[in-house]
Amino acid sequence: MKRTFIFSFLTLALMMVCQSAFAYDYYVNGIYYRKVTQQLPGGGCGETYLIVVNNDDPNTYSGDVVIPETETINGESYRVRYIGSEAFYGCVNLTSVTLPSTIVNIGYHSFANCHILEYIELPEGMQQINSNAFSYCEELDYIFIHSTEPFYLWDDAFADINDHVHIIVPCNCIEAFEAAEEWQGIQLYDDCGHVGIGENENTTVNIYPNPASETLTIEAEGLVTIVDEMGRVVRSLFVDNKQTIDLQGLTSGLYFVKAGNEVKKVMVK
């Protein structure tokens, strides 16, 4: 953890020194980027990568935004590594953001005041979330964390959302996260259907109708994921006893509904 913190602190300091507010270098496929070259301890340059920023407009991004792992600029390919400070700040029409596996840092106030953002998934390589990253996201219900090890949080990284958001970590990782100093006091869930250390909710799942065409009712407790035949997660939701979901947009075929350690098959017509 100490090594992660030092790395994060150095890279954050570099970002603060090298950037002016809202400055961007490139606009590619609907995304604004700043290009940064990582300085190495003792001198020398490391990786050159991209930071997602905005153009000082609260409506810079709206709808469903997908951030790529890499972007090619002037014939050179760069990894997208950071969500910059205030990158999505005040984007009141932003409904979802898909982050690539290359993202390691979520900047200050990066998603603050995104009033209709409902969920976000944080990739496995995440190293740091800065203060007020998700402040005043009133509709944010789920933060899915794919890292199996706790990473560094600023004290108020989840300020103003702790009372309603479900922060979900990988199965059987709650103890590791809650043992980390910066994660103490944060209510966590895991995708086994557990809530908190030592608690084990009833994960019995019932689904109907089966086959289904327009809607599917799920009776379960905790995180439920629906996976297609290729192993891709097509829906994730937190069910409290029973919930009916709209199947619009799903192609016909076989799907797997997972709740805790149970898996049920369902045919969608």
Q: Which domains does the chain have, with CATH numbers?
A: 2-190 (3.80.10.10), 206-268 (2.60.40.3080)
Assess whether pLDDT exceeds 80 at residue 6.
Answer: no
Q: Which of 10-14, 53-57, 180-184, 210-214 shows the lowest per-residue confidence on average (mean pLDDT)?
A: 10-14
CA-CA distance, 76 to 173, in Å (whole number)? 38
Structure tokens given for 232: 């891709």
3-class secondary structure per residue, 52-75: EECCCCCCCCCEEEECCCEEEECC
DSSP 81-111: EEE-TTTTTT-TTEEEEEPPTT--EE-TTTT
- What residues contact residue 195 under an 8 Å CB cut-off, 6+ apart? 189, 201, 222
CA-CA distance, 33 to 83, in Å (whole number)? 10
Classify strands 31-39 and 45-53 as parallel, antiparallel or unpaired. Answer: antiparallel
Biggest CA pair distance of the chain = 63
Tens digit of each residue's pLDDT (9 = 90 or more) over 44-80: 778 999 999 999 887 899 988 999 999 999 999 999 9
The SS3 of residue 17 is: helix
CA-CA distance, 13 to 36, in Å (whole number)? 12
Q: pTM score, two decimals? A: 0.69
Tens digit of each residue's pLDDT (9 = 90 or more) over 73-82: 999 999 999 9
Tens digit of each residue's pLDDT (9 = 90 or more) over 76-118: 999 999 999 999 999 999 988 989 999 999 999 999 999 999 8
